[in-house]
Structure 1
Amino acid sequence: MPPERILIVTDEMEVGGSQRQIVHLLAGLDRQRWQPELLFFRSPSRLVDEVRRQGIEVHQLRKRGRVDPLFLLAYAALLRRRRFALVHAFSLTAELWSTIAATIAMSPRRRPALVASVRGLYLDASHTFWRIKRFIALRSCAVVANAQACADAAAAGTGVERRRFEVVPNGILVAPPLDDSARERTERGIGRPPGRPFALFVGRLVEVKNLPCLIRALARLPREQRPWLALAGDGPMRPRLAQQVAAAGLKADVRFLGERDDAVALMQIADMLVLPSWQEGMSNAVMEAMAAGCPVVASAVGGNVELIDPERTGLLFASDDDAELALCLQRLGGHPSLRQRLAGAARERMLATHSIARMIAGTGRIYERCIRQVRPAPAGEGAARAAAKGDA
């Protein structure tokens, strides 16, 4: 039997957590069972090149404006031409346009199975957002969340039964440890000052990450107890954060690294990863740090509380509490034995429960069930089943 052709869809392919999960999924799906392809609408990045290097066909349909009839017709034409067995969308816009395009492109008997996603808590989402999400959920064969907290939030927001939301945690690639020369090159490349604890943030510099809380926490500490902080990532908050750093007198203590493609290497040389977000789903940065043996201090929100067992696999602090965060930074910076203990337990947990193989296997099982659910039974099979029921 030839492999089933499936389509993974997202609105953008900038470097982010969901996009890295898409790359892992595309690379790991069994090619004897599946023929995966990628569709995105905007913001290409090096991740698109990585997908193409895997021999996976990539489609980009440019969408101009919130509603673009020409884009929608082009998407419908792609679905008709490629005859996908299943479409898995990873963002609200991708879900909405996939649902509409499939409806106008094909008859009900030929439509692909639709799989939707929940990748966050959506705490600030509008009533319109939840109405659209409900519309999608009720028309999907499955809705896959990456954390229990995300599934719970989506069920509450949409009013759809919780049992319709399935949880498949993100998978993390465990990198080999850096040798001494690679560690030295990486430290020298970012200008890490010798003799100071090194705190790292990895992610987009956006409002939801609540980086002002981290800067306030640093300012609370006397310099001899203050870790040196590197921010790996870029985004619209960077100018405002730079102003806050300067106003707090922290220019010598904070380094903006910009977007990086060596986040895991940075985690391997850091003394701690800090994630002060207002809300999080299942954070790839937290999981990558835990797998890399880097202790984590994170806000007690969303999926963070599912990943981190306080005082065992990391430290949690109350959301936006810069005083409590400062205490966590002080503890980790001043106690190497605590860092070592937390890092060891965190790495063991990631290896046991959050491998990429487990994520791919869990997603594949959902694909199998959804295709069976929407595919018409072969001729005669329905009558045979009815007759068997009548004999029972």
Structure 2
Amino acid sequence: MMARRLLLVSDEMEVGGSQRQISYLLGGLDRARWQPELLFFRSESFLVHELRAQGIRVHHLPKRGRFDLGFVLRYAALLRQGRYDLVHAYSLTAELWTAVARWLVANAPRQVSSVRNLYLDKSPLFWGLKRFALLRSAAVISNSRAAAAATAAEVKLPMERFDFVANGIASAQPLATLERAQLRQALGVPEGRTFGLFVGRLVEQKNLRCLVRALLALPAQDRPWIALAGHGPLDRELQHLCEAAGLREDMHFLGERSDAPRLMQAADFLVLPSFHEGMPNVVMEAMSVGCPVIASQVGGTPELVEHDATGLLFRSDDSDALAAQLRRLVAEPALRARLGRESAARIRSRYSIARLVDATVAVYERCLRADTHAAPESRQVTQPKLGGGA
């Protein structure tokens, strides 16, 4: 049997949760059965270079402006020349233009679309375009039940149209005690301070202003030292905000890093104060290496984190509640150790790249079978239960 030709499509390939999942999936596919390629429109990162190093063909197809007819024609030409069996789109932009380009191709490949977030505060136009794309998809894969339910309600489609495939997580190389101390020193962690880490893009969704307010609510002696690993459009604004708030000694900007698992092992905890999330990859990564997590209780995060058992949760945008949880972790090393142990055990038992690949491939194979009118019950993919308390 010839290998199936598969194209994964993303608007951008900056370092983010979806982009890491794309790289895990592409790297984990059986090359005897699948011939995977990647297409992105803008903003690459080291993830693209790593995929190319694995022998995966990567296409960069720049898109200029909201509507670029030349881009659509070039995309259609790529679909025609590539003779793909399946296209899996990971963002609304990717889904929309894949659906449009397929109109221009005879024997077009089947399309799989995605739900990767809660998409809060989106316009009617966004939801109209999302419905347009999902109705033209052979399958829709969501990485959390919360995000799927919210999307289903907005686009007025039954939940049976959605498959649930949890994110996978790679096993990190353990950091030796000496290495941990050396890394903390290289990062500039002050001696005797509790080290909190944020990893992600510096964008509105991550609500880092809430973290700034929480630090200001704590007496200076009770504050953790926070490092932010990532960059984004709010980089300069957040740096100015910290300067103006007098937090220069409490917050450090690392820029984009390619060693997130090592940073998480060096840190005492990870903090994620987002307004909304799908199934946050960064939380899974931290939990997998035993780094305690403080996160806002949004989206799929409570499907991962059980409060006071595998991490700490707080109400979205409640800086006082976040400050209280920060104070607990600074004051209680034993709590940090317990949460780290329990969270690592939870991730090991339920999430892996092998599970991600197998579950995704099951959806792909169903889409490619001749009988595409299976009963709704047959559309469910076997997954670990995505419940924080289970």
Same fold (TM over 0.5): yes
1:273 corresponds to which letter in structure 2? Answer: L
Quote how far apart the aligned CAs of 1:310 are. Answer: 0.6
Match of 2:122 among 122, 125, 138: 125
1:63-86 deviations in Å (ceiling 9; x for gaps): 111111111111111111111110
Task: Tell me the equivalent position of 1:154.
Answer: 151
Quote how far apart the aligned CAs of 1:241 are. Answer: 1.5
Quote how far apart the aligned CAs of 1:184 are. Answer: 2.5
Task: Tell me the equivalent position of 1:16.
Answer: 16
1:240 aligns with 2:240: no
Report the secondary structure of 1:234's partner residue.
coil
Large movers: runs of 4+ above 6 Å: none
Give the aligned CA root-mean-square deviation in angstroms: 1.3
1:290 corresponds to which letter in structure 2? Answer: M
Mapping 1:190-269, distance limit 5 Å: 190-269=187-266
2:97 corresponds to which letter in structure 1? Answer: W
Mapping 1:1-392, distance limit 5 Å: 1-106=1-106, 110-373=107-370
Any conservation in 2 of the 1:137–1:160 contact (CA below 8 Å)?
no
1:319-342 deviations in Å (ceiling 9; x for gaps): 111111111001011111111111
Moved more, 176-185 or 358-367: 176-185
CA distance in 1, matches of 2:290, 2:371: 43
Any conservation in 1 of the 2:46–2:258 contact (CA below 8 Å)?
no
Any conservation in 2 of the 1:296–1:314 contact (CA below 8 Å)?
yes
Any conservation in 2 of the 1:23–1:47 contact (CA below 8 Å)?
yes
Any conservation in 1 of the 2:146–2:278 contact (CA below 8 Å)?
yes
Task: Tell me the equivalent position of 1:378.
Answer: none
Any conservation in 1 of the 2:199–2:282 contact (CA below 8 Å)?
yes
CA distance in 1, matches of 2:335, 2:185: 26
Any conservation in 2 of the 1:117–1:144 contact (CA below 8 Å)?
yes
Quote how far apart the aligned CAs of 1:374 are. Answer: 7.3
Q: TM-score of the superposition, structure 2-length normalised?
A: 0.94
Quote how far apart the aligned CAs of 1:48 are. Answer: 1.0
1:250-293 deviations in Å (ceiling 9; x for gaps): 11111111111111111101111000001111111111000010
Specify every segment of 5 or more residues in structure 1 that has no aligned partner in the other structure, as ranges.
376-392
1:114 corresponds to which letter in structure 2? Answer: Q
1:289 corresponds to which letter in structure 2? Answer: A
* Identity %, equivalent residues: 56
CA distance in 2, matches of 1:374, 1:68: 36
Specify every segment of 5 or more residues in structure 2 that has no aligned partner in the other structure, as ranges.
373-390
Moved more, 366-375 or 170-179: 366-375
Task: Tell me the equivalent position of 2:385.
Answer: none
Quote how far apart the aligned CAs of 1:12 are. Answer: 1.0
Quote how far apart the aligned CAs of 1:161 are. Answer: 0.9
CA distance in 2, matches of 1:368, 1:355: 20
Report the secondary structure of 1:105's partner residue.
coil
Q: 1:114 to 1:243 in 2, by over 3 A?
A: same
Report the secondary structure of 2:104's partner residue.
helix
Any conservation in 2 of the 1:113–1:374 contact (CA below 8 Å)?
no
Q: TM-score of the superposition, structure 1-length normalised?
A: 0.93
CA distance in 2, matches of 1:215, 1:185: 27
Count how many residue pairs are aligned between Structure 1 and Structure 2.
373
Quote how far apart the aligned CAs of 1:18 are. Answer: 0.7
